[in-house]
């Protein structure tokens, strides 16, 4: 069975592409802390399709803490300059879970970067009449 589950932080903002068919794909990297604190993190290339890609595009930013589950695969291609066969491991994500706090959804200017995933936007409230 080819299953992988990872918890880490996004290494960069997702790169999103749209296709004529309406399908979308998001690609980015995930840094997972090593078992020992003095070791460098492990890096994984992620590919996310469809609705999960939309979630990544809307809510994941560099540094966001997320959990992903999916399957390992290998992308293969031929280098155009050297004609050398190349490959890289990729996690094809089936499910993404946002783990950060609401504070992670606020950008550096204090503005909300994206609406909360589970809460609807608050309705505008009319100011109360003040008697003079």
Q: How much is the pLDDT for 35?
A: 84
d(CA 91, CA 38): 25
d(CA 79, CA 25): 23
Residue with tokens 């998001």: 26
Question: For the chain, what percentages of helix, strand and coil (3-state, to nearest 5) are there?
Answer: 10, 45, 45
The per-residue pLDDT string of the chain (132 residues; one tens digit each, 9 = 90 and over) reads: 999 999 999 999 999 999 999 999 999 999 999 888 889 999 999 999 999 999 999 999 999 999 999 999 999 989 899 989 999 999 999 999 999 766 655 554 444 454 434 333 344 444 444 454
Q: How much is the pLDDT for 60?
A: 95
d(CA 19, CA 26): 12
């Amino acid at each position: 069975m080819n299953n992988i589950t990872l918890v880490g932080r996004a290494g960069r903002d997702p790169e999103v592409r749209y296709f004529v068919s309406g399908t979308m794909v998001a690609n980015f990297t995930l840094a997972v802390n090593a078992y020992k604190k003095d070791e460098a993190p492990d890096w994984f290339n992620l590919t996310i399709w469809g609705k999960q890609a939309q979630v990544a595009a809307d809510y994941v930013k560099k540094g966001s803490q997320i959990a992903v589950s999916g399957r390992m695969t290998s992308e293969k291609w031929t280098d155009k300059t050297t004609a050398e066969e190349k490959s890289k491991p990729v996690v094809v994500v089936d499910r993404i879970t946002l783990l950060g706090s609401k504070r992670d959804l606020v950008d550096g200017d204090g503005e909300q970067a994206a609406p909360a995933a589970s809460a609807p936007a608050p309705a505008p409230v009319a100011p109360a009449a003040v008697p003079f």
